[in-house]
Chain A
């Protein structure tokens, strides 16, 4: 039995806050898009809300390379837009590299986009200005940030990403893969702490995808930058250390990969348990066991059992 003094000491100990040391933190993040319903004449219609993110929790450590996967409309791109400072969440907490994305002023937000994050879009043509050379595209963020144009760094980045020979070429003279690698160099131009990539290999064939992903992984390893990649591409999602699944605006699963002693990759998929104790069961598990509306839980010594409720509402044995 602990003594009263022990309990008092225990209560006095400050426990670390949720995700206190995480490089990227999302806690109960909500993003709602609203339509303003009209109330005039025959055009009368009710206001419509689309909840893109509904209480999403996410923790990413510094230097991690993770993939985010999910069905179309699950909220992946919204999450990435929020993390890049391009979109503002409706509620919750979002912090990237120690900066609170909800309370940032516009000046902070600008500094955040200039120095903290780099962004890569899916469309290869959208990442680069077509009338600038690859090197000029890389130096553009430096100019925009008001920094001295460091051509050596630009060349170094292009070298690191394997497109050094393309420095003087314009995007129209580059292949899709080369354009995406130049885009990674552009995203890295101002030495950001986080790289956010939205389907960076979405428009590429599998070989080129592999090259682009390798380039990203190289940047992650060489520069220690945290990489968050939204993807549908298994060649990407199956090669990262952690893959986070998003469903209906919430993180639903995490797949962790580690290398076994024999050199093979072991992938273990986990359901995500949020701080309120909510858990999303995989849909195919639920379908298989015809689970709906209610399940029966049983606390065992080292686990919790989940059983489908029987038709009469009684648990099956």
Chain B
């Protein structure tokens, strides 16, 4: 067997290389993608504020509710809650306790517009460091000790020793503290303990200041007033993965059900389930898209490997036929042929599998199953092929006179594939792609196979017409080439079945990559609103605007004022966002970009529908003015209205907190730094795009699409090359005969080109048509906007150019290869 392989080492090495690379791809790509999915989950959690991701059991009591007891009892309650955690949540939560008790906010009677909240937090001693005074001690009668954040105390002018009069009790400031770096979870949850919160409540005439201070635990826990107990269980972001995200989501629902009790005021405060839902929705879409492409890749790889196995089986056919004639049984011959293929395929698959461990990422079942199935498929196909070829011992078949009749079984199979493909896509259109139904995600692939089957049936028709046409002409090359193509029709099934899905899925993949890129670019522009955006928390001096306009490298500057206001609508007013900008100048600034801006009305303002009922209303910022609605606007680039109304008014001279700029970002940075040393935030479209494209799920999808698309192209070309080489002996014989009759090298190349062109052309056309048609067929099932942060339902982008370029590239390389190969075959024989 080894000698048999040594005699055909070229083909055997090709088979081994193919199996190895496919095995590596099949094992490594899912690992890589799975790692990116995990990173996506972890990035989502780590980028979200900890108070949203942690599980907070909150108990709010009324005035007359009995206290839970002292601090000891409250801390012990944490263990009770943790026993209620479902296993999936228990695995992802930290053991660190974060427990607090606070009483409702009290007005400081001896100070103006100031309020104080007294709180005890379990790990405060490790999160704060007293810089003045001492930590608060136990309550003495109606007087509490309180520690305040030093910066906050300084801001409102409170010193150590001050006594703050509250409603029915007092709080003496015994110490001032500063936050300890490293206690991130503490400060994320109890940010109010470190700063003064300023707000203008509805109905208030003056700004109010809210302070929070630390006090003794038992003192606050036993106080007869409204208390809020909180037990936080923080989440280990690294522990949440794509594989346990679903369990975590359902675990949160389960935990909420177990702990919530509206009667006693216990609720679960967390956004973890919503974050997980958001992640899982995108993950499902990503996985489905990848499944479509991976399915295509696996079929194409399987087809290419089948071609290589067939080539090997054809090469050893003579040897095996001799053995068969010398008395080898079918089992012996099949074992010999299959063993030879297995000797190459199995170690190659194993090496590919082991090499995949060099790729970082979690090991999913497909990592083990993929290479094993691949090796099994290669060996199985070889066994079937060899057994079929040597079923009868006579090698010299009378192929010249015995023609195969179309088998009813094959026709039934073809009808089934076509029906499954069409039916699957119809189901997909109605049910959407993100349904997590693995069979449904195979529908595009089935459709590609159906198209291949139809192509195989249709292929001879134009060929016959061409042969008839060329038969009348005087050019022998074209007639002979097309006739050879027609004679080869019986052996093209496998190449077409590999090539067409490769072209269609590859074209679809390249169009999707381009679509995502376009969507991300659009989202980046939508997020920033201009090539460069400068935002300042105060008014920008006019001279800086003028200076920027004069700076070389800066093309245009449009000043704008963007900010929240309370529109004078109704009794309490209506919160809204105002944009004051010269719309025409802004339109000129972003012309040529993906942004579309509304036209400026002749006079008046653009408003959202929520304000459209008003004939006019007043606003006090950027200046006091009366707004007369003249048009409707739904959104505005670079402005996040967060569900509130939007008012776009003409620019107010001399008032701007935002600059919209086109030009060189570095020039803007240096000019802004010179004119305004602090407080300016500069954002660019390129920066935003990097952020969007760098998002793990999006980048995983794009990387996956690229890898799969390129792999499809490579395997499609290898498939074509193998199909080409398979017919090489026959072609060389024909060329040698024709060379005797006067065939030139150029004619031989043309002959070969014409032999392969009809099939390649028809398959390419069918593949590209399907690849371009797939986005339309899949319809709203694939919403690429989700990968760019664009609103759902943004029309899917399906550019045709990349698909055409992909297919044209593959077809061109194949044709050039066959042209050169044709010349080689001729020269090799002459």
> Which A residues are closer than 8 A to B by beta carbons?
33-36, 38, 40, 42, 48, 50, 77, 81, 84-87, 106, 109-110, 113-115, 119, 126-132, 140-141, 144-145, 186, 190
Contacts and interface: CB of A to CB of B under 8 A. Distances in A.
B326 A144 contact: yes
Contact of A85 (B323, B393, B464): B393
Contacts of A132: 3
Interface stretch (B23-31, B394-402, B726-734): B394-402
Given A36-B405, A50-B401, A129 B325 contact: no
A190 B6 CA distance: 27
Interface residues of B, number: 27
B204 interface: no
B7 interface: yes
A283 B444 CA distance: 68
Contact of B326 (A36, A50, A109, A141): A141
Contact of A186 (B6, B326, B403, B406): B326
A42 B332 CA distance: 44
A120 to B, nearest CB: 10
Interface of B: 3-4, 6-7, 318-319, 322-323, 325-330, 332, 392-394, 396, 398, 401-406, 464
Closest 9 CB pairs of A and B: A114-B327, A36-B405, A86-B394, A131-B3, A144-B328, A131-B7, A144-B327, A141-B326, A113-B327
Contacts of B404: 36
* Residue among B323, B403, B404 with max Cβ neighbours from chain A (10 Å): B403
A36 B406 CA distance: 10
A141 to B, nearest CB: 5
Nearest to A40: B406
Contacts of B405: 36, 38
A125 to B, nearest CB: 9
B1 to A, nearest CB: 11
Contact of B403 (A36, A114, A119, A129): A36
B322 A127 contact: yes
Contacts of A115: 327
Contact of A33 (B3, B327, B393, B401): B401
B403 A126 contact: no
A127 B326 CA distance: 9
B401 to A, nearest CB: 5
Nearest to B3: A131
B327 A190 contact: yes
Given A33-B398, A35-B402, A131 B327 contact: no
Nearest to A111: B327
A214 to B, nearest CB: 24
A86 B403 CA distance: 20
* Residue among B319, B322, B330 with max Cβ neighbours from chain A (10 Å): B322
A33 B7 contact: no
B403 A35 contact: yes
A126 B7 contact: no
Given A127-B322, A130-B7, A131-B3, A110 B402 contact: no
B577 to A, nearest CB: 70
A302 B4 CA distance: 64
B486 to A, nearest CB: 12
A81 B394 contact: yes
Nearest to A187: B326
A58 B4 CA distance: 40
Nearest to A42: B464
A145 B4 contact: no
A131 B401 contact: no
Nearest to A52: B398
Nearest to B391: A106
28 contacts: A33-B398, A34-B402, A36-B405, A38-B405, A38-B406, A77-B396, A81-B394, A81-B396, A84-B325, A85-B393, A86-B392, A87-B394, A106-B330, A110-B329, A113-B325, A113-B326, A113-B327, A119-B325, A126-B322, A127-B322, A128-B322, A129-B4, A131-B6, A131-B7, A140-B323, A144-B323, A144-B328, A186-B326
A127 B322 CA distance: 7
Contacts of B330: 106
A38 B403 CA distance: 9
Nearest to A36: B405
Contacts of A34: 402
Contacts of B3: 131-132
* Residue among B318, B326, B329, B401 with max Cβ neighbours from chain A (10 Å): B326
Given A86-B394, A126-B318, A48 B401 contact: yes
A236 to B, nearest CB: 22
* Residue among B7, B325, B328, B403 with max Cβ neighbours from chain A (10 Å): B325
A145 B401 CA distance: 33
* Residue among A119, A141, A144, A145 with max Cβ neighbours from chain B (10 Å): A144
Given A87-B394, A131-B4, A35 B327 contact: no
A118 to B, nearest CB: 8
B733 to A, nearest CB: 15
Nearest to B5: A131
Nearest to B328: A144
A85 B318 CA distance: 18
B319 A129 contact: yes
Nearest to B8: A131
A307 B403 CA distance: 45
A35 to B, nearest CB: 5
Nearest to A106: B330
Contacts of A106: 330
Contacts of A109: 393
A257 B233 CA distance: 109
Given A86-B325, A86-B392, A106-B330, 19 more contacts: A33-B398, A33-B401, A38-B403, A38-B405, A42-B464, A50-B401, A86-B393, A86-B394, A87-B394, A113-B393, A115-B327, A127-B322, A129-B4, A129-B323, A131-B4, A132-B3, A140-B326, A141-B326, A144-B327
Contacts of B392: 86
A132 B7 CA distance: 10
A119 B328 CA distance: 13
Contacts of B328: 144
Contacts of B323: 129, 140, 144
A16 B333 CA distance: 42
Contacts of B402: 33-36
A121 B790 CA distance: 74
A60 B332 CA distance: 33
Contact of A110 (B319, B327, B401, B464): B327
Contacts of A38: 403, 405-406
